[in-house]
Amino acid sequence: MLAAVRSATLRGIDGCRVTVEIHVSNGLPSYTVVGLPDASCRESRDRVRAAVLSCDHPWPATRIIVNLAPSGVPKVGAGLDLAIAVGILAAGGVFPAAALEGFAFLGEVGLDGAVRPVLGAVPLVGALGAVTCVVAAENYAHAALVADGDVRGVSHLAQVVAALKGAAPWPDPPVVGRPSGPRTVPPELADVRGNSLARKALEISAAGRHHLLMVGPPGSGKTMLARRLPGLLPELSRADALMATRVHSAAGEPLPSGGLITLPPLRAPHHGLSSVAMVGGGTGTMRPGEISLATGGV
């Protein structure tokens, strides 16, 4: 039998749609993944098998081929685990493959069947379009901000299988808690005494969005002034906030609880930083650099 499942993978800071095709046929028991998977994708066999068995479903004792299309795009991370698991269950006859229509699945599965959050949920969900996205409960709050369709937050593979079989409804949306404590704001320029020319340069730079180069001996106040520059900038627009949140999500940086990054970010990289860490990239998996992480800020 054949089953096709929608999912997505990261390419830098962008999400790329992936179709996970599962073919279960007669033959010696085997499990093969094709379509440029990385080590995490290839290791999905043991995770998915243990998760399926933990949900009291049989593992097909047949030949299983997993094709990740398009085949020319590298697939990174364990975020395809959930799509592979439901595809194998559908191809194995646990529920009809037609039940997967209109759904996309993002999540890593644990050996006990738990659905775990993935890196870069914001760009991944944004790339999937108008479908119902099934994600880990921890990814629900940020996925709901950018999704074009509905979002379902789940914590276990058994919940997904029960909903697709029609035996139980989808779990209620996870409750998004408000951030505790006062909102973090950058230090104010008014706290600086003296340095009138430097303060004026900061104000002009912030007002006109001009580039600014600060040169001086150690202890002259360069870092102190730079940390106060974001406080002179307005809050990010909706488009800039989405972009900043998308970049930080792809890089694995912490995100505000249940919301977008609305304050201009401040990045202070070390002077010994490598060029890859500064501009982004990498030999295997591409990651945003400090320049990208400063999008909309300083």
Q: Which domains does the chain have, with CATH numbers?
A: 2-165 (3.30.230.10), 189-293 (3.40.50.300)
0.85 exceeded by pTM:
yes
Cβ neighbourhood burial of 18 (10 Å; 0-12, 13-18, 19+): buried
Element containing residue 14 per DSSP (H, E): strand 14-25
According to DSSP, residue 26 is labeled S
Structure tokens, 118: 């993935």
DSSP letters along 188-255, please? PGGG--S-HHHHHHHHHHHHHT--------TTSSHHHHHHHSGGGSPPPPHHHHHHHHHHHHHHT---
| 129-171 pLDDT, tens digit each | 989 999 999 999 999 989 999 999 999 999 999 999 999 999 9
Q: How far apart are CA 45 and CA 221, in angstroms?
A: 55
Q: How far apart are CA 77 and CA 247, in angstroms?
A: 17
Instruction: Classify 257 as helix, strand or coil.
Output: coil
| 193-224 pLDDT, tens digit each | 888 888 899 999 999 989 888 888 888 888 88
238-251 and 121-128 helices, crossing angle to 10° = 120
| Percent of the chain with pLDDT strictly greater than 70 | 96
pLDDT, position 171:
92
Provide the pLDDT confidence category of residue 104 given band limits of 50, 70 and 90. Answer: very high
pLDDT, position 209:
87
Instruction: Classify 44 as helix, strand or coil.
Output: helix
Spacing of C-alpha 47 from chain mean position: 20
Among 10-19, 40-49, 78-87, 282-291, which is the least confidently predicted range? 282-291
pLDDT, position 180:
46
81-91 and 44-54 helices, crossing angle to 10° = 60
Residue 4: pLDDT above 70? yes
Q: Which pairs count as long-range contacts for 205-209, CB under 8 Å and 24+ apart, including other chains?
A: 205/229, 206/232, 206/233, 207/232
Q: What is the mean pLDDT of residues 86-115?
A: 95
Provide the pLDDT confidence category of residue 179 given band limits of 50, 70 and 90. Answer: low
Report how far apart, in Å, the C-alpha atoms of 265 and of each of 34, 89, 205, 241, 245 are: 39, 44, 16, 10, 10
Q: Is 252 left (phi over 0), alpha (psi -120 to 50) or beta?
A: left
Report how far apart, in Å, the C-alpha atoms of 291 and of each of 70, 138, 201, 277, 298 are: 30, 27, 22, 9, 9
157-165 and 44-54 helices, crossing angle to 10° = 60
According to DSSP, residue 283 is labeled S
Is the peptide bond prior to 288 cis by the omega test (within 30 degrees of 0)?
no
According to DSSP, residue 37 is labeled B
Name the range with the highest mean pLDDT among 5-9, 204-208, 234-238, 276-280.
5-9
